[in-house]
Structure 1
Amino acid sequence: MPAGKGEKQPYFHCKKLNSMMKNPKPYFLLCAALIVVSFPTWSLSKTATHLDLVKLKNGTVLEGHIVSQTARSLNLENVGGMISILRESIDRVITAEPGESAMFLGAQLLERKKFARAEFFLKIAAEYPAWRTESNASLQKLNTIKEQLEEQRREKEKSDIEKLIRRKGVEAGISELERRHSAEDDYWGSVRGRLHLLMARERLDHYDLKMAEQHLTLAEKYGVTKEQWESVRNEIVAMRRKSLLYGEDKLASRAFQSRKRPDKTAAGGGLLALAGEAKKKGEKVPPLEWLELVDRYAGENDVDPLLIWALIDTESSWRSQVVSPKGAQGLMQLMPLTAKDLEVDNPFDPEENIRGGIRYLRFLLKMFKDTDTALAAYYVGPGRVERYNGIPPAGREYVQKVRTREAALNKRFGLSPQGRTLSKS
């Protein structure tokens, strides 16, 4: 029934609600309690908006995610990479909420399509309940982008194969499709990630932190265990601390002085000198300037120079511009993909090719712990050797050729394995 004239109109046409409004205190307390109880649930889903801030005494402000810090230094990771900062140059450090800077940095890296690093920091953020929802959403977005890119790759491949079929027929299309899907996996297997781990460690030995980080990123991309990745990552962080304490130039100088040098004395006056004498007599020998390169890089990599000589004999007969039917290039017949991984910009440059080829053989020797197996991997690819769990039939003849030529060179110059340096006496 409507209220009579002069009566105050009720707020609600519900006796219970009107009762609440007349005496709101207990209901207010109940609502407040419900809000407090429910707070942890809805507060877990938030958006990261802050990075860690490092303000330097010169006024510069750096943003990123603090990876590690000691009493002497601080390592800050941002989109561009890691920055090491001495404590004495820092005025103030402002940290975001736990996990927030990792979340924000991961989102930035994802936006820039740096997927490997983005995934790393997003997974760090996911360890914190406050950022788990956002980080999982970003990781899902990352996986979606990867799937889209893969779909685009497949569509392009389909278009390419269809064009090839129209030009050359169905068999040509099938052959090309099989080649594309088998070549890289067949050649590398699971070894490619391990190769980049070894190269990252080598760069650390030379105090080249930037290249070490690049190879570590590639190692993650091509597949290594979390423990292997973190081990090298920790070495990089430790090296950055040392560089702050002593200076990169001083550390690099120490590394250079401690690095192993090839023995400059050898039986018979040195193989390079003997090769020079043989050339004077009209005997056929490779260009002496290329033998000097073999000497230098074999010594630096602790590889037998006679083995390299025999390998180049077998691969290219010392023709620096040769290209094989499969696309291998230069003196040591590096495949384009391998050359890129080995930091070889121009595989037709003798020095770059010899340096890269010797490094590659050294990595294979470390991986397989056996010279014949490493030679087979050099020829047929480490992936095939890995799957065969030994030397596959396709590699046996090649290994025999290289070993036969190595033995002939040793007999020709009369050197024992201990005297196999190409250096002049």
Structure 2
Amino acid sequence: MPDGSSYLSPDLGHGLQPLARKGRGAGLNPAVRFEHTAREAFDDGWGTLEAAFADLPPLPTTLTKDSAKSALAWNQSPDIGFDRAVNPYRGCEHGCVYCYARPSHAYLGLSPGLDFETQLLFKPEVAALLEKELRKPGYDPKPIALGSNTDPYQPVERTLKLTRGVLEVLDRFNHPVTIVTKSAGVLRDLDILSAMAKRNLVRVCLSITTLDARLARIMEPRAASPERRLAAVRALAAAGIPAAVLAAPMIPAVNDAELETILDRAAAAGATSAGYVLLRLPLEIKQLFEDWLARHMPDRAARVLSLIRQTRGGAMYDSRFGVRQKGTGAYADLLAQRFAVASRRLGLERRGGGVGALDCSQFRVPDLPGAVHKAAQLTLF
């Protein structure tokens, strides 16, 4: 029965029993791709299967401690503007059905579907681990990305404050950082961010997928509303913190018509730069997105999928570096041109620097607590 495992059903095109829950983005919980077995729900003729999946109760969010040995995650991807990141959380309660990070939950033995947004892992020692790594001899400072995999300001941050702990470490070390979030919760750390901004050590990027509140509720059910995100851009700009907007992902025939409007509103709010990404559907996200389309937009599902294939050489996804973010073909080219024209018109190309504009030269390893006192004592001998 519905306990978080996957359910196979021959009567659905994607092969999975629907598990849609109120307030959650994914409607499925596909099996972990590394496992060799999967459960199959069987109707015994007494209507028990139909009853089991009818009116499913809301799924609570569960938290599990992650005993990580390090805070920094490294990458060598040529189309990503950073080589290191910190992720205080694994999984994300925002529930964005299209989230490219969903497949990473399979490495934990959890489903990229509902498990990803309901079974979260948190790293209670993340700040201490980061400090230890920054103190290593020969550490070469370059901007750290916060929010590269899952949102550092998802709802649980309000109480756990792990992201704030990371920022406190970076502030003391004069270490540059970039933040990507869909939450107005970033304003809770305005004191740290504004101090770092005065030293050119921080850049915050708000991801705004749509300005349509109804569409936002079904695309990203537990993220901040579009208006709250725009308000966050305005507050960051007023505090002197470079704020960018990321119109991502752009989904053909779903939110792509809003690209220019999103950039217009963001620029008016004080955004200094902008970016966009075309929808990506690696691994399990493909079936999650197809199920989401069938449930919420059955009238245009076929057209949306057709347009996606046109941007991926006839497939649902192309993972090659250099094209995975933007796609190929006439539609992808037009989207890129629209973004370029709007960015030039709004001055978003000129008003703010990117990751490379942050200052790495100020990095300093502070003394350990008590180190100054001990040094003074040694002078007595």
Instruction: Tell me which interval the TM-score lies in, with the shorter structure as reference length.
Output: under 0.3
Structure having the higher helix fraction is 1
Larger Rg: 1
Structure having the higher strand fraction is 2
